[in-house]
Amino acid sequence: MALGLPSALLILFNWLSVIGYGIAAWRGHRGGHSFAPPFLSGIAGAVACLVCPWSGAWWWAWVPLLTDPSIGLWVIAIVLQAMARLVGLRAPIDRLPPQSSTE
């Protein structure tokens, strides 16, 4: 219970953040949007299912990992990164850091 409820709330807040960003982008607003601590909510929920004393609760440990949008976005980013490298394109993570103007 100590991990399960906060995990469920953080996953809900992550989804509300995704929905809020979609609405803001649809209206043409720009700006920063943030998630609850990324990956923390899905992993905490999975751990909560694994250590739960109820019999059979560990069968549900995969559900928080699939429902946390930050983990899904991370997986998509890794797949796109790999595809860009296979095709020979420069992926966003491959960019060189900006040069400082102090010389």
Segment 33-81, tens digit of pLDDT:
666 666 778 888 888 888 888 888 888 888 988 888 888 888 888 888 8
78 half-sphere exposure, CB direction, 13 A CA radius: 6
More confident residue, 33 or 87: 87
Other CB atoms within 10 A of residue 33 CB: 12
- Using a cut of 0.85, tell me whether the model's pTM lies above it: no
What ranges do the domains of the chain cover?
4-87
Closest among 54, 43, 57, 32 to 6, alpha carbons compared: 43
Q: What is the pLDDT of residue 40?
A: 77
20 pLDDT more than 80: yes
